[in-house]
Amino acid sequence: MTGGTVGSLIAAEAVLRGADPYPAVAKALRRYRVWNWAWYFETVKIPEVADVLLKTLGAEIAMVWPHPLSRDYWFSRA
């Protein structure tokens, strides 16, 4: 949801300046696209591997990349 909000704001600013919004939005959302791709890959393409890593290594190690924010969120709730 944050990515959509940021993308909309960046696009609106580009349109107001008379510029093409796509390059600005793509640049602003690059990190979100990487995180979304990583979540997709591990939940759709390799869920068994992700499950084994979480069970054997533990979440702190298995979620080092690309999920440091998620890891910090879950461990702050412990």
Asked if residue 68 and residue 40 are part of one domain, the reply reads no
Q: Which has the closest alpha carbon to 67: 43, 1, 78, 52?
A: 43
Asked if residue 35 and residue 4 are part of one domain, the reply reads yes
Write out pLDDT tens, residues 11-59. 999 999 999 999 999 888 888 888 788 878 888 888 888 888 888 887 7
Asked if residue 59 and residue 37 are part of one domain, the reply reads no
Domain enclosing residue 59, as ranges: 46-78
Give how far Cα 12 sits from Cα of 28, 41, 55, Å: 13, 31, 44
Residue type, 65: W
Task: Tell me the whole-structure pTM to 2 decimals.
Answer: 0.52
Q: Which has the closest alpha carbon to 2: 47, 33, 39?
A: 33
Asked if residue 50 and residue 39 are part of one domain, the reply reads no
Higher per-residue pLDDT: 24 or 69: 24
